[in-house]
Structure formats: C-alpha cells, structure tokens
Structure 1
C-alpha cells in the first residue's frame, strides 16, 4: 500500500470502528446471579470466571424423579480478536438424588459432570443513546424518555452440548444450541434482558425456552434482579421465578446470591444459589488518550484508581509478602588528631 493518505484513512477508520463497538467495561460485567445472558462480550484481553454453588429441592413424583440436587456451576468467558465476539464454556458438577415412587419410595444418589457446553456469541447491533446530561437549554428535553431505549441491542448465540459428561447425564450424541440475546437499557439504573433458546436440537430432549430478567442498580455497589424462565419440553414444562442480589466488591470481583421458586410438571420446590464472579483483566485500549497539546494523559481518575487498588487475590497474597525495608546509610565524621 504505497498511498500514505490511504494508510492514514484506514488507521482512523479501524480506530473509530473498534472504539464505537468496544465491549470492555471498567468494572466486571457478570451474568450472575441470573440465568440469562447479556448480548455484550467481556472485551478483548479479559478472562472471566462466573461460579455458582446451588441447591435444588422439589417434591417427589410417581415413578422416577430427581427431587434434589447439590452442585457447582462454572462459566468461563473471554474474547479474542473482535470486541463483539465472545467465546464461552460452561460446566456443571452435581450430586443428584434419584427417587422411585410406586407402592414404596426408594432413592439413590449419583454424582458427576452433568453439563459441558461450549459456545460463542456475536453482537450484531448495539443501540446508542443520547447523552442528555449536556442538555441545558430545556428541562423537558433533558428528562424526556429516549425512545431509542425501546429498541434493544441484539446478539446471536451458537453453542454445542458435548458428551464429555458422566454416564448418567449422557444424551444420544452431541447437540447444538442456538439463541437470540436482547438487552434494553431503559435507564441508567434499570435494564431488561430477554433470551430465547432452542437447545438440544435433534434429540428426544429438545427444548424451547425464554428468559426475561429485570436488573436494577441501587448504587455503584448493590444491584438486584427479578427473573422468569420458562422451558417448553415435549412431556413436561418447567417454570422458575427468581430474585437475587449482587454486590460489587471491587472492579474485578462480584459476589451474588439468589433464590427461586420452581414448578416442574407436577413438582414444586425451590432453588438457592451463591456465587462469585472474578475477572483477570489484561485489556488494553486500542488508542491513547491525548490532551489538547497532543501529549499522552497518564494521570486520570481511572488510571489513579487502578494504581491504588490491586486485584482481589493480589491483596490476599500481599499479606504474606514481606515489605522491602528501606536501607539507611549513616555517615560518620572522623575527627582529626592533632
């Protein structure tokens, strides 16, 4: 490419393109404690782990049923090359109570890896909103509802349910999973996420489901959610209604908990979960912030915050590291002998 003007044009085009569609956020953006999934990725250079310990209990029904489960769920998320593309993997390990109810009731327990799914999502449309904080001429315009907020950001999801699970949880074969992920930011504090999934395609256990989650931020640290998930199966539908809280401990660590009411066919029960989401942040912006004189800005509120605060694990292990002692040197004055 010999034309220097063309090089400059392409440079600024790619720069603007990556900046407009950047998915990275200064604080962790976790899907937990809900079951729904945001259309946005974690951003390039971010390695995020979202864990959850759960307990599920329902009533025992005739013939065979699975009335009780205790397990651990882990979701790993990262992004390569493209900000709008996220790669993720989800695994669940649990201990289930299998009950048989006829004339008498008996049960046994099984333990193992119950789920291992790999997938990817791609943001195909990101809604932009007006910055009304700069509106000073009209009070009405400043506080008027932005109708663009009714149009959601959209992502598509494609995944694969592997058969790398314990024998009890194996299906006929590996099966695909597809979905549409929507998010409406109705205000700076309240958003609604809608997911539609078609799972285990091509098997006897194929299912169609939707999830609607409303999240409200009370402050910079605390948020809550209300969620409904409904799963349509050939022989049995499942419905759960959940509520939960999340606490932002640091910009890279979130703690959350949730409780759900379950309705699975004729069975009813509850679900409780407690989780931690943590990210390893290696993200680097594709641009350098410059001042009006064209010099790099190294002293900003965000950079100062990052310098003062270390990661969660760094603070823990920092307890066991010895602080370097400052070496002091003393100079002695020698007296001359007469």
Structure 2
C-alpha cells in the first residue's frame, strides 16, 4: 500500500478509522509510496527488503545488474499524527559493456539514497465518521456511495537527503545534503485503499526532480492483500514511467512479508526489479486514542449527558419516573 504499502499495503486496507494506531502493522512496503497515516504514538517499526534487477541502456550499449537492500525505520512520537522516519537503499551495480569488440565490466556499491524526514497528518476525514452510529433501518444507507468518500486524508512530509563521502551515486554537481517534500493523500474505500504521493526531490539543487505515485491496494482477506502502482518521474537528468505490482501476507499482527516487481516503459534504460521484504513493529502504544477536535469533543460530551438524563427518567421495570 507507504506504502504499499500504502501505499500502505495490507494493514492500511484494514485500518481502523478511530485513530492513527492500527491493530495490525501499517507498512509502506512493498511499493514506492507512503500512506497518509503514521504508525501510531510510541510504535517503532522496521521495514526492509532485498531486491535484484537490471538496467539495459540501448543508447550506451550497457547492461547493469543490480543487487540492493532497502530499509526504513519509522517511529511515532508526541502525538498520533506525527512520525519520524529514516529510509534508504544500499545498492551494488555491476556494469557490462562492449567497446570495439572488447568486453568491459566494472562494479561499484554505496548508499543510493538516505532520507531523514517527518510526516504529519494535516486532515483526517475519518475521525468523525468513526463516531457516527449506523442506520439500523437501512443497509443501503450504511453501504451506498457518498460524495464525502472522495475526500481523502491528507499529510505533509518534509525531509533531507543525506549522501556523504566518495559516493558513485552522487554526481559532482549534486549536493550531499538536499531537501525533499511530499504531499500525501489517502482514501479508504472498504477493502480498497487509494494513495497518491506528489514529491519534490533535491529542491534547489542542480537536478531537482518531481514525481507522482498512484497506488491502489486491495485486501483479499484478513491475511492477504495485493496492489498495483504507477509512478511518473520528471527531471532534467532523468524521466521515466514505472509500474509496480505485488502482494503482502500478514503472519502476525506485528509481522508482515511481501513480494513485488517493477518494470518501466523506455529503453534508455529499460528496467526490471523483483523484491522480497519483511516489516516488523515493536508496539509500545499505551491506548487506542481517538483524535478529536474541540468541537467534536463538546458534541460528544453533550450527547453523553443527554443519554444519561434520558436513562434517569426510566425505571428498571420500564416505567417512567415522575
């Protein structure tokens, strides 16, 4: 489903609208997007995976074999809406070419990316809906499409790319420290979750890039979920269209495994990758806390007092008090 998943993959599809915290792990693996919701206050989560792939460049006549490790550490703190994360990729590249009939091969490895960032949930349309009582007289009223379902949860993300030393994945014109920002939206439609990420990367640098990631996740049952994803990338240095697909399996409420693959739609270079991953959380969350604004809190208190007054008017035998 972030994610992904999510965008956020299995657990986001099953997520409880009452709070940021979910009963099952909320992982951004195995896709390229991240969901709008944080892991939950005092939840520490580890997400990692191995991947292999290839880049074949028709113009340069090169073939590159890839082996990498993706990682992300996420922690919710201070409040349900806030999350700090550190994520990146360590990549080994083996490049083969043929120049003048002579085969050449060389390899290099380093961190392709490291990003430290914060995500904050700005707007959650589901927090009040979770407090609504179902219509006991109409199945249609409870399950039919409503225009408000098109309104997504919205988060903002800000971070810094960190690459230091003699790194072959860092061009001479690029800075070792650069900003990254994203706008994240998420719609929960029953067993389906739709996530959009709009990302500005290496802002203010020599080669800034912009991308959009669109992820649809479907929860097949209580254990299995699948996803499809499209990503568009645009920059002066590199542009591409990438498709991803895969699935995740929930082993326990705190442990998830996943598999995914990607391809692109160009030959400079053409890409493919296959990845296997795992996500695990250490759940130190104290309670399932409902996020409400002051207006909602007052309305809830008023309704509670009203119900209490009504109950005091009725005797245990069903007769009314004078």
TM tier relative to shorter chain: 0.7 to 0.9
**TM-score, length basis structure 1:** 0.74
Write the distance in 2 (CA, Å) between the matches of 1:66 and 1:91: 24
Q: Equivalents in 2 of 1:208, 1:147: separation in Å?
A: 30
1:232 to 216, 234, 257: 234
Structure ranking higher on relative contact order (CA contacts 8 Å, 6+ apart): 2
- RMSD of Structure 2 on Structure 1 (CA): 2.4
- Pair 1:98-2:95 in alignment: yes
Tell me which residue corresponds to 1:277.
279
1:34 aligns with 2:31: yes
Distance 1:154 1:66 in 2: 41
Which position in structure 2 is the counterpart of 1:220? Answer: 222
For the residues of structure 1 that align with 2:81 and 2:259, how far apart are their CA atoms? 28
Q: Secondary structure at the match of 1:167?
A: coil
Aligned partner of residue 49 in structure 1, secondary structure: strand
Match of 2:118 among 120, 140, 154: 120
Q: What do the CA deviations read for 1:149-188 (whole angstroms, capped 9, x no partner)? A: 10110000101001236521233331000010000112x2
Given that 1:88 and 1:118 are in contact with CA atoms closer than 8 Å, whether structure 2 keeps it comes out as yes
Within the candidate set 186, 191, 213, 1:183 is matched to 186
Query: Which deviations, in whole Å up to 9, do the C-alpha atoms of 1:39-95 show, x marking residues without a partner?
Result: 110011111001011112122333486732101010010011121111000121111
Count, aligned residues:
269
Q: Which runs of 5+ in 1 are unaligned?
A: 1-19, 288-338
Calculate the TM-score normalised by the size of structure 2: 0.77
Aligned partners of 1:252, 1:164: CA distance in 2, in Å? 34
- Check conservation: 1:63, 1:101, Cα contact below 8 A: no
Larger-Rg structure: 1
- Displacement after TM superposition at 1:264 (Å): 4.8
Q: Deviations over 1:195-240 (max 9, x none)?
A: 0000011222311000000000011100000000111121431121
**TM-superposition CA deviations, 1:110-141 (whole Å, max 9, x none):** 02222111001100000124678832212331
Whole-Å Cα distance in 2 between the matches of residues 157 and 130 of structure 1?
25
Partner of 1:248: 250
CA contact (8 A) 2:21 2:288 kept: no
